[in-house]
Amino acid sequence: MIGEIAALATALFWSFATIFFTFGSKKVGVIQLNIDRLFFASLYLFVTMIILGIVPQITESQILWLVLSAIAGLVLGDTFLFKSFAEIGPRLSLLIMSFAPPLAAILAYIFIGEILNIWAIIGITVTTAGVFLVILEKGEDNKITIKNKWGFFWAFLGMLGQAVGLIFAKIAIKEADINPFIASFTRIFSAFIMLLPIGYLTKRYRFGYAPYRGISKAILAPTIGAILGPYLGITLSLIAIQHTKVGIASTLMATTPILMLPISHYFMKEKLNWQSIVGAFVAVLGVAILFLK
């Protein structure tokens, strides 16, 4: 139950973080935003470990798997996802990402031998169908051109990267007990270290406040967004896969579009149509099945 609750909390925090990251990626660029948010998340986690007096206890093998997880999920997966956000918008990007749970479940079965019972499979299928129905709706933001059709490819790579990243993280967690803050810091800081020289050498990253000058609101993306996304979201996602199976955790974490419905309705004044409402009920039914499996 702890894993399922942590996974849902992850989806909730990411639903708010997505708003910040979508706005930020359009204003300052994908690489700039990705590096800055990882920097702030690493800083927040480091301060948290000092305040809580957490002593790092982690094996070399766990570090290796977590670094590989960072490369797949944060360096490649998130970068491709943010790029798709900027090109085809969050709704279409998340439409493709909705297939991540079944993919993660299949990969978990192949590589770490996680077997799901029939009710878990039904729950994953129903929840994924509900999420898919919500973000399938047509809208002005879904209009695409030849120029940005690559966004679908970036979203697919983002989906693949995040699924593989969860598998590598699960392998590290299964090896020995590890504090989730330490595991999260290892993933996030290693991703930051790898992305920083790439961004600097490709001239897509600038240090300091300069990239945000004139668009001061964009600074909220890496600062506040980092708290909601990498700091809370990634830490809780590691707690989730520590206490439940990857396929189940991934499915619950993929309910972000469902949780974004009231946010979009009340704060962004978007109208909810019947398709969104039906999809939300279907997804909630799937979530209930996963909790009662």
**DSSP per-residue codes, 80-115:** HHHHHHHHHHHHHHHHHHTTHHHHHHHHHHHHH---
pLDDT per position as a tens digit, 126-179 = 998 988 888 776 554 445 454 567 888 888 999 999 899 999 999 999 998 899
One digit per residue, pLDDT tens: the chain, 293 residues?
888 999 989 988 888 887 787 778 778 887 888 899 999 999 999 999 999 999 888 999 999 999 999 999 988 988 888 788 777 776 678 778 888 888 999 999 999 999 989 999 999 999 989 888 887 765 544 454 545 678 888 889 999 998 999 999 999 999 988 999 999 999 999 999 999 998 888 888 888 888 888 887 888 888 998 999 899 999 999 999 999 999 999 999 988 878 877 776 676 666 777 887 888 889 889 889 888 76
Measured between alpha carbons, how far is 227 from 292 in angstroms, rounded to an integer?
A: 31
Closest of 97, 100, 136, 131 to residue 281, by C-alpha: 131
CA angle (85, 80, 278) in 5-degree steps: 50
Measured between alpha carbons, how far is 220 from 71 in angstroms, rounded to an integer?
A: 25
10, 19, 181 from 208: Cα distances, Å: 29, 23, 26
CA angle (73, 78, 81) in 5-degree steps: 130
> How many other C-beta atoms are found inside a 10 Å radius of the C-beta of residue 115?
10
Ranges of each domain in the chain: 2-292
What is the pTM assigned to this prediction? 0.85
